[in-house]
A and B are shown apart, each in its own frame.
Chain A
Amino acid sequence: MVEFLHVTKTFKKRKSAVHDFTLNVDVPIFGFLGQNGAGKTTIMKMTVGLLAPTHGEILIDGKPSTNIESKKKMGFMPETPYFYETMTGLEFLRFSDELFETTSGKEREYEDLLKKVGIFEARNFQIKTYSKGMRQRLAFAQALVNNPKYVFLDEPLDGLDPLGRREMKEVMVKLKEEGKKIFLNTHILYDVEEICDEVGVIHAGNLLYAGSVKGFAQGKSLEERFTETLMQYEHVHA
C-alpha cells in the first residue's frame, strides 16, 4: 500500500504546491487526475525521492518511500524523459538494472522487456536517434526493469500515437494482471476512464476526490464531472 500522510510541499517564492495531502492507495491502477501544475508531478517526485516533502510522510508498505528497500520495489517513469543520448536503448536498460544490484545473465529479460514496449528493433541504436514515442517506451521499459511491485508513471502516454497509446495501455493492463500496482499521473480523462480502478482528483495542490471512477462520474461524463469539480473548488475559494 502507498500511504500519503499529511504531505505538504512548499517551494521557495511560491505558495504550497501540495497542501496537507492524505491518501491511501491500494488498487491495481490508480489514476491521478489534474490540470497541468496541479501538483501531480510534485507528489510523484516526492514519492520516488526526487523531492523531499516540507511536512508529512510517504510510506510504501509501511516504510518511508525513500528508503532503499522501498526503492527496490518501485519503478518510475518521469514526465518528458531525458536520457544519455549516446547510449543505446539496450545499454540504458542494462545500466538502469545494474543500479538495483540484481543483474547477471538478464540479457534475455531486457530483450523481452524491449519487445513488450515495442522498441526491440531499435535496441542497438543510439537514443539520440529515437523519436519522442520511442523515448517514452524506453522510459517505460526502464521503469519495469527491476520487476517492481509499484510502478509510478508520470504522463506515460504523452507523445505516443494512437496505436502506441493502445499498446501501452495494454501493457499496463497486463502489469495489473501480474499483480503490480500502477500509479498513473495523467490529464487525459479518457485514459483514466478506460484503465483505472480508482481515481484521485487534485487541483491547486489539494485533493478534491479519491475513490472509484464511477463514484466520481456519478452518471455523467468524466470530463463534465471533472470540470464541475474544479469550478466548484474555484467558486468556494474565490
Chain B
Amino acid sequence: MRNIWIIAKNTFKLEVREKILYAIIVFAILYMLSSLFLADLVLKELPMVKSFALAGVYFFNAILAIFLGTTSFFKDVDRKVVYFILAKPVSRAQFLLGKFFGLCMVLLVTTLIFMVAYLAVVAYEGGGFDAMGIAAIGMQYLEMMLFLSFALFVSTFSTSLLSIVYTSAVFFAGHVVSQLVADAQAINITGIKLRLVQALYYIFPNLEKFDIRNYAIHNIAAPLNSTLLAIAYAAVYIILLLSAGVWIFNKKEV
C-alpha cells in the first residue's frame, strides 16, 4: 500500500507541473464564465445556464481524463523511467495502481476547481447553493475514474495515440449503447442483430448511468437506488479494468 501511495503522490506532483493542465483549467473556467454573458443573450433561464456549465465541467474533465490516462503511464514505460522504479521493491501492480490513484487525485483537484466555478456561476445567476449540481459533478467524477481505468488498461498494450482513439471510441459508445438497445427493441429487431446490439451493451460501459445532470438542472433529487447502483457499477468496472491492466502489464517486457 505504501508504494502505491508513493507512486500516486509522485504522479500527482508530476502531472500538476504540466502546463497543458493549466491551459485546460483556464479554458474550462473561461467557458463557465462565458455562461454568465450567454445567460443574458441566449440561455435566458437558470436551467439553461446550469446545463451549459455542467456540460463544460463534463467536457473539460473528459479531455483531461483521456489526456492523463493515455499519456502518463505510457510515457513512463516508453521513456523507460520504469526501469528505475520496477528494479526497486515495487510490483507492477503497485506501479499501475499508483498511477491510477495519482491521476484520480489530479482529476479530483480539477473537478473541485470546476465545481467551485460552477457553483459561483449558479449563485451569481440567483440559483443559490446547488447541492444537486454537486451530486451531478460527483457522478461525472466517477465516470472520469472509469475513463482513467480504461485508458490505463489500454495503455498497457497500446501506444499513446491508439489509446486516445480507443478511449474516445469507448467514450462515444458508452453514451449511445443504452439508447441503441432501446431503439433496437422499439423497432422490433430480433435474432442475431438484437444479440449483437445486446453484446455491445454488455461490452461497453454504460456511461449514461452516471448522467444525473437533468436532475441537477431542474433541481430534482436523483433516485438514490439508481445512483448507488451506478457507483457500484463504476467500482466493479474499474476493478475489472485495472485487474486486466495489471495482468497484461505483468506479462509485458519493458
Answer whether A and B are interacting partners.
Answer: yes
- Say whether chain A's binding surface is mostly helix, strand, loop, or mixed: loop
Cβ-defined contact, A51 with B253, below 8 A: yes
- The contact of B6 among A83, A87, A98, A146, by CB within 8 Å, is A98
Using A95-B6, A95-B10 as known contacts, say yes or no to A83 and B81 having CB atoms under 8 A apart.
yes
B85 CB within 8 Å of chain A: yes
Which of chain A's residues 20-71 have a Cβ closer than 8 Å to chain B?
Answer: 48-52, 68, 71
B90 CB within 8 Å of chain A: yes
Using A50-B254, A98-B6, A99-B3 as known contacts, say yes or no to A86 and B14 having CB atoms under 8 A apart.
yes
6 residue pairs bridging A and B, Cβ less than 8 Å apart: A50-B254, A74-B87, A78-B80, A78-B84, A82-B81, A84-B14
A100 CB within 8 Å of chain B: yes
Contacts of B86 in A (CB 8 A): 48-50
Cβ-defined contact, B87 with A76, below 8 A: yes
Cβ-defined contact, B89 with A81, below 8 A: no
Cβ-defined contact, B89 with A72, below 8 A: yes
Cβ-defined contact, B88 with A99, below 8 A: yes
Nearest chain B CB to A48 CB, angstrom units: 4
Cβ-defined contact, A96 with B84, below 8 A: yes
Q: Once bound together, how far apart are the Cα atoms of A176 and B53, in whole Å?
A: 64
Cβ-defined contact, B6 with A82, below 8 A: no
B79 CB within 8 Å of chain A: yes
| 8 shortest interchain CB distances as A-B pairs | A76-B87, A48-B87, A78-B83, A71-B89, A99-B88, A86-B17, A82-B79, A68-B89
A101 CB within 8 Å of chain B: yes
B193 CB within 8 Å of chain A: no
Q: Interface on B for A, CB 8 Å cutoff?
A: 2-3, 6-7, 10, 14, 17-18, 79-90, 253-254
Interface size on A, residues (CB 8 A): 28
Q: Please, which residue of chain A has its CB at the minimum distance from the CB of B92?
A: A49
Q: Once bound together, how far apart are the Cα atoms of A87 and B18, in whole Å?
A: 12
Q: Once bound together, how far apart are the Cα atoms of A47 and B225, in whole Å?
A: 52
A186 CB within 8 Å of chain B: no
Considering residues A76, A83, A84, A100, which has the most beta carbons from chain B within 10 angstroms of its beta carbon? Answer: A84
Cβ-defined contact, A100 with B87, below 8 A: no
Cβ-defined contact, A81 with B84, below 8 A: yes
Q: Interface on A for B, CB 8 Å cutoff?
A: 11, 48-52, 68, 71-72, 74, 76, 78, 80-84, 86-87, 95-96, 98-101, 139, 142, 146
Nearest chain A CB to B11 CB, angstrom units: 10
Contacts of A49 in B (CB 8 A): 86-87
Cβ-defined contact, B89 with A99, below 8 A: yes
Cβ-defined contact, A100 with B14, below 8 A: no
Q: Please, which residue of chain B has its CB at the minimum distance from the CB of A98?
A: B6
Considering residues B17, B84, B253, which has the most beta carbons from chain A within 10 angstroms of its beta carbon? Answer: B84
Q: A50-B87, A101-B2 are in contact. List 8 more A-B contacts (CB 8 A).
A: A81-B83, A82-B80, A84-B10, A86-B14, A96-B84, A99-B88, A100-B88, A101-B89
Contacts of B88 in A (CB 8 A): 71, 76, 96, 99-100, 146
Q: Once bound together, how far apart are the Cα atoms of A68 and B93, in whole Å?
A: 14
Nearest chain B CB to A69 CB, angstrom units: 8
Contacts of B253 in A (CB 8 A): 11, 50-52
Nearest chain A CB to B90 CB, angstrom units: 5
Q: Please, which residue of chain B has its CB at the minimum distance from the CB of A97?
A: B88
Q: Once bound together, how far apart are the Cα atoms of A80 and B83, in whole Å?
A: 11
Q: Once bound together, how far apart are the Cα atoms of A95 and B18, in whole Å?
A: 19
Nearest chain A CB to B115 CB, angstrom units: 27
Contacts of B18 in A (CB 8 A): 86
Q: Once bound together, how far apart are the Cα atoms of A11 and B3, in whole Å?
A: 30
Q: Once bound together, how far apart are the Cα atoms of A99 and B2, in whole Å?
A: 8
Q: Once bound together, how far apart are the Cα atoms of A95 and B89, in whole Å?
A: 13
Nearest chain B CB to A100 CB, angstrom units: 6
Contacts of B17 in A (CB 8 A): 86
Cβ-defined contact, B89 with A142, below 8 A: no
Nearest chain B CB to A14 CB, angstrom units: 12
Considering residues B7, B18, B89, B90, which has the most beta carbons from chain A within 10 angstroms of its beta carbon? Answer: B89
Q: Once bound together, how far apart are the Cα atoms of A101 and B16, in whole Å?
A: 25
